[in-house]
Amino acid sequence: IYKAVMATRGSDLNDQEVDPQVVEDAFGGGLNQSLEWVNVTFEISGVSRGVTHELVRTRQASYAQQSMRHTDMGIPDMRMPEGIAAAPIDAQIVWMDSVDAARSAYRELVDMDLEFQDARTVLPIATETYIICNYPLKVFMDTFAYRACSMFYPEIVELFREMRTVLLMVCPWLEPFVKISCEKTAPQTRLLPAGQGIPAGALVNI
């Protein structure tokens, strides 16, 4: 990121020093197209195809996903939505009966030597899948800012928050920059010393 920002001035190929302020300015708005040259890649398993249908709408990213067209899915795992898991048992039974029927139909069609691409059509959107997602860093940050908000579908919210967790394990210095929108716009607070009628340790918006 530092090299990309400094490219407009020219840079010594052997210069390995980095000015952290220049990098921070890029995240704050500066010459932030440099953030499009840094990529982050996530390997994801066990999410529903409902989630991956939403993931791939971010068109500035690249994806490689498990193909149900060319793969025998066996007895596919399904991901029960949070809302149904929290619903009365009667609702859960309806969901599970539907899933069992879809699995049975899929196996029967495959055993009849039908193409996987035809048999897959009976499987629900809850079918678990595998996907690799590659994002330019800026695209991931922008996507995280709204997809990780609790207003969205719980499974995709949980996924993006987990993506942030593993990203920060590798790049902890990104922590101040990978935030949901309301965290970015919320007023910051700091502790003030006692004085001028303000109690010590008072939290004040800045």
Query: Long-range contacts made by residues 99-108, C-beta under 8 angstroms, separation at least 24?
Result: 99/124, 99/126, 103/75, 103/76, 106/73, 106/76, 107/75
Residue 44 token pair? 């994801």
How many other CB atoms are there within 10 angstroms of residue 172's CB atom? 8
Active-site entry in 103, 147, 161, 164: 147
For residue 147, indicate whether it is catalytic: yes
First-to-last C-alpha distance (Å) of the chain = 29
Q: How far is 77 from 80, CA to CA, in rounded Å?
A: 10
What's the Rg (C-alpha) of the chain? 24
Please identify every residue annotated as catalytic. Answer: 147
